[in-house]
Amino acid sequence: MPRTRSVVLAAGAALLVRRAVRRRIATSPLWPLPALETPISGQGGRRVPSLRLTVAERAVPAEGVALLRLESPAGTALPEWRPGAHLDLVLPSGLVRQYSLCGDPADRATYTVATRLIEDGRGGSREVHEQLREGAELVVRGPRNRFPLAEAPSYAFVAGGIGITPVLPMLRAVEAAGGEWRLLYGGRSRATMPFLDEIEKLGGERVTVVAEDDAGLPDAAAFLADTGEGAAVYCCGPEPLMDAVAAALPEGRTLHLERFTPGASTAQLGTFEVELRRTGRTLTVPAGRSVLATVRDELPNISYSCEQGFCGTCQQRVLEGEIDHQDELLDDAERQDSMLICVSRCLGRKLVLDL
């Protein structure tokens, strides 16, 4: 009987403690955990719809380039997309990489992407080339489009190497609509330039191909000098090429760039502090080091992937501070109270994160 009484008393005390803890959490923003909405932190990034697809076909459209056609195992129609859209591929290792859709938007049965092997890269392209064979399954997110084809009286397209992938569906769309367009397409050699035969057949004399091993680098300034007033200029390729196009852009033309590497910060790159509100620590982020790298010293299991501001895995809620957004992903609403800590920084002296 005394033992039963002790058990009952212990259970009652535990219940009272649990209730007290709940009340304390609900009324205090600081102990033991803040009474905040469920944070983005640790949730595996943005809640972008995902699909599990199968590699239906693998091809080699140029030296060092792998093309994948993906389909639903159930044979269901895939979500619609428009020229300029891309997919996030969740690779077998867990890495997330972005690849432009280069197939036909009218084809709802398959998605087509292509990637160049980057020998000294961070492993994503090598994983695609070596592990994603026919029959392999993988998760994709999207499609999403941050490089949409706008209406314009005429178009000038500039592509370098694998940068042709988002441009190719645009060429087809403008041609089908009877629009006016020209293309400057550069690469290390003709053998390394994917879809070259199709493009030359599609555009004829409107296509200028510059193979570096034969003719050197493309002359963006000369190409753009012939564009008409109001032309939309679309460019995707290596950073030096995009910089050259931006520098040579004539007045009265609109420039659209597709970047898969982070742009340079326009804000100070000095030292600032990051307070981890839930953890109770304040860290110093030095110039030349990312918020992500600094936070990982304290929280090594924090979620991240691309480290370039594209995949959204490291998105964190910001409770205080002015953000220097350097990503290519978040929309205006998301930028009000969150950031991608792999590339974005602080415009002031301190940020407070929901971590």
Helix (H) or strand (E) segment spanning residue 295: helix 291-298
Measured at the CA of 228, the angle between CA 223 and CA 229, to 5 degrees, comes to: 130
Q: Are residues 114 and 200 in contact, defined by beta-carbon separation less than 8 angstroms?
A: no
Would the pTM of this model clear 0.75, i.e. be above it? no
Q: CB of 118 within 8 A of CB of 66? A: no
Residue 225 CB neighbour total at 10 angstroms: 10
Secondary structure in 3-state letters for 81-119: CCCCCEEEEECCCCCEEEEEECCCCCCCCEEEEEEECCC
Per-residue pLDDT for the chain (355 aa), expressed as one digit of tens each?
455 455 444 445 444 444 543 443 333 333 333 333 444 343 444 455 789 999 999 999 999 999 999 999 999 999 999 999 999 899 998 888 889 999 999 999 999 999 999 887 777 899 999 999 999 999 999 898 889 999 999 999 999 999 999 999 999 999 999 999 999 999 999 999 999 999 999 999 999 999 999 999 999 999 999 999 999 999 999 989 999 999 999 999 999 998 765 554 444 468 999 999 999 999 999 988 999 999 999 999 888 877 878 778 899 999 999 999 888 778 778 889 999 999 899 988 999 999 9
Cα separations in angstroms, 264 against 145, 242, 259, 338 = 22, 13, 12, 20
Question: Across the chain, how many H-helices and E-strands are there?
Answer: 8, 18
Closest CA to 84 of 335, 328, 341: 328
Q: Residue 195: name the closest of 119, 113, 106, 118 by CA.
A: 113
